[in-house]
Structure 1
């Protein structure tokens, strides 16, 4: 296998970078679609509409969590199979993953459509913001399958040795989303409905671009007829579970932040968090990109039993995560005003709150990168227990109590500090556990 020879013998730094930049750009642009929606809504419809659309953003997290759950679980098995030179098994895993995700998404979007109003108010809507949330939610739910298919395909295409095409599909989606948003908002005046339609149409074209991989010479990625295997279903669901928890708890965290800001600071607080959260979704995807670059490489080398190279890849990924986190934190502290100005030039209370809080919030990225790399790494070598522990620590076990306690004891400003304190404490606890037990990280 010529492709295998290149992966197994290429210098680790160059190999990682060849996957890193396409993965980061691809995931970044995927999240930029949501940011673009926020900017166009803010500029073309207004701050209340922005808050309403932000209520619906957790739905993207729900859909993304399903595609990551099945996609990362299936892709890990896919790459491990290729590392063991079992192409037939890899193709069965891909087909099974696609069908499994399709069925799950169909069920969930149907339930959410039926309960749309209750879901919106549960996510933090009020009488002012619900009409906007309803417009956006309806279209996103009806066409939610397209969004998950694009993400699943990009994950498997990256694992099939074509990270550049995985990136290209998302680049096309992002560029077209900007163009469609402009026409739907400013030319045709479709409002929030237009923003949702722009997202759907651009994603459809992105899926078409990604589908060209099936006709590429040397591609192992194909659908097969006989693919159902109960053991593989259990493995896909189990391996992908940490990714599902990460992304699904993003939705929970957004909801809890919305409710907390609404309680302490009213609609202006929700608007401020909406601005920060749109940026957070984008920045978070940079770190997901690091993990997505690491996953196919560590899974393949793990399958081929090249463990020294597995260790080397992990070290490179951790250093990358820390470096990027530091850069983001510094820029957030030095230039919060210019960064938040993308949501509108007029000074308002909501933007003022966002400017004052973003620097504190951004400290969390220094630690967030480490947590995401470790979670993705343990998942990629089938160490699900450790990956799940990291995920639950940072998103549930520490986050929820801190969000309740800190603002109650020290005031609303401490809401912004919940993210960095949670991520930093998770790094401390996981690092202490590994050092105390003298564990090589791949042997956990």
Structure 2
């Protein structure tokens, strides 16, 4: 177990690894949780019910993006304050972040509950699927605040030197979610309501595990009565913006991909992309885990003004991202058919289309990790414009033109190249920026 005080003296590689594996496993389990609901509903209730649950799933993205936005913004400032030795301000920032997120989420959930039917139809519900959407979404929204609290606490606990407990909370949630899904759907026959209850109950228990951190002697997570500062609130939202962009842009990218595949390759193309995207969603969370591990360490060292260790941390992060990216690309290039065979219900033509597409698509992972590390690094040292620029480049500014132009110029199969082209050009621009400013990293740290 890492204490905050040991961060300054511990060798950096083992220190980074002590944060990396819990962060990657925790992020991976968060993505698997959503898949588990779909698997149990499809087998235990039916395809129409699955469609209803899938329509409601974006609510998870909305809630997650808010907790990431405020959580990462607040936790970055929290770690910087600890690095500066200002524990009083750290307590204030934790209290401000927690209560701000609670206010935003409760307000949003109240609005959604009072407009449940309209929201469901906006998300794509029909008269056939709405009953399932209603049953599932009603429970999820009633307990949604616990989902966001769990995510925010896991971020702050990681920043407070206890990454293993942050991971254990998410492991508890995932295991219980599987067991309760089976109990409520297959044994008790509660249908999609049972699926939602499984998610809610497992989240509350996982959150309770995280609360054990408050009883730890070394914990600096404390609620204080005098906490509000308008300037701090603005900085929380500003610093957390890149994390929000990552989550929010995912939904936009999926919609644009679906529309493009439908236009050029029809329904089979959309299905092939869906198969690839299931794997991509899981892999993306693993790459996000590198940034999650880097953030508390970088923020603390930035606050403590330990510049040499900061530079080493950045190099370790880039090396880790490059190794993971190359490994993922090699596996996807050598075994695309085996990976797509995981989706047994698809036709051979769709599976071949998905396998061929993923072999090209996966080249983007070489660059994805590097882009994420630089964005997280700049976010962690409060260089928000740089971090936000990287996130917008890869997800909107370069992605949309590439998605429009590549299939027009090179044919329908070039749609698969959108991801590697956008990520590759983003990585190139980062490289050119640093090459143009040879002392960019040190000058950024000292500015």
Structure 1 partner of 2:9: 9
What RMSD over aligned residues (CA atoms) do the two structures have, in Å?
A: 2.6
> Displacement, 1:356?
3.7
In the alignment, what sits opposite 2:231?
231
Contact 1:34 1:278 in 2 (8 A): no
Secondary structure in structure 1 of the residue aligned to 2:85: coil
Structure 1 residues 144 and 276, CA gap change in structure 2 (3 angstroms): farther
1:192 shift after superposition? 4.0
Q: Counterpart of 1:159? A: 159
What displacement does 1:152 show? 0.2
Per-residue deviation, 1:349: 5.9
How is 1:36-435 mapped onto 2 (pairs within 5 angstroms)? 36-45=36-45, 50=50, 53-113=53-113, 135-344=135-344, 347=347, 351=351, 353-435=353-435
Counterpart Cα distance in 1 of 2:163 and 2:115:
38
Pair 1:91–1:386, CA change in 2 (3 A): same
Aligned partners of 2:325, 2:84: CA distance in 1, in Å? 35
CA contact (8 A) 1:58 1:252 kept: no
* TM superposition shift of 1:130: 6.3
Structure 1's unaligned 5+ residue stretches are: none
Q: CA deviation at 1:112?
A: 4.0
Q: Which sits farther off after the overlay, 101-110 or 134-143?
A: 134-143
Q: Matched residues in 2 for 1:179 and 1:62: separation? A: 26
8 Å CA contact 2:3–2:160 kept in 1: the answer is: no
Alpha carbons of structure 1 residues 320 and 423: separation in structure 2 relative to 1, 3 Å: same
Please state how far the C-alpha of 1:199 moved relative to its aligned partner. 2.0
1:170-214 Cα shifts (integer Å, max 9, x gaps): 011111111122233433444444333322221111101101111
CA offset at residue 339 of structure 1? 2.6
Q: 1:390/1:357 Cα in 2 relative to 1: closer, same or farther (>3 Å)? A: same
Return 5+ residue gaps in structure 2 as ranges. Answer: none
Match of 1:441 in 2: 441
- TM-score normalised according to structure 2 size: 0.90
> Size of the alignment, in residue pairs?
443
- DSSP-derived class of the 1:297 partner: helix
Contact 2:378 2:386 in 1 (8 A): yes
Give the 3 Å change call, closer, same or farther, for CA 103–5 of structure 1 in structure 2.
Answer: closer
Whole-angstrom CA distance in 1 between matches of 2:422 and 2:437: 23
Q: Distance in 1 between matches of 2:143 and 2:236?
A: 25
Does the Cα contact within 8 Å between 1:149 and 1:207 map onto a contact in 2? yes
Q: Secondary structure at the match of 1:225?
A: coil
Cα separation, 1, equivalents of 2:286 and 2:261: 26
Q: Distance in 2 between matches of 1:277 and 1:128?
A: 26
Report the alpha carbon displacement of residue 38 of structure 1 after superposing the two structures with TM.
3.3
Cα separation, 2, equivalents of 1:199 and 1:370: 33
Change (3 A) 1:263 1:185: farther
- Secondary structure of 2:57's aligned partner: helix
| Aligned residues of 1:176 and 1:202 also touching (Cα < 8 A) | yes
Post-superposition Cα deviations, 1:44-71, rounded to whole Å, max 9, x if no partner, equal 4556655554444333222111111111
Deviates most, 400-409 or 240-249:
400-409
Instruction: Rate the CA distance shift 1:305–1:171 in 2: closer, same or farther, 3 A.
Output: same
Tell me if structure 2 keeps the 8 A contact 1:181–1:195. yes
* Displacement after TM superposition at 1:136 (Å): 4.2
Q: Tell me how far 1:350 sits from its aligned partner.
A: 5.2
SS of equivalent to 2:21:
helix
Residue 222 of structure 2 aligns to a residue whose secondary structure is coil
| Higher alpha-carbon deviation: 146-155 or 336-345 | 336-345
Q: How far did residue 369 of structure 1 move?
A: 0.5
Q: 1:17 to 1:335 in 2, by over 3 A?
A: same
* 1:178 to 1:442, Cα distance in 2 relative to 1, 3 A: farther
Cα distance in structure 2, aligned partners of 1:364 and 1:227: 43
Deviates more, 1:185-194 or 1:55-64: 185-194
Per-residue deviation at 1:25? 1.1
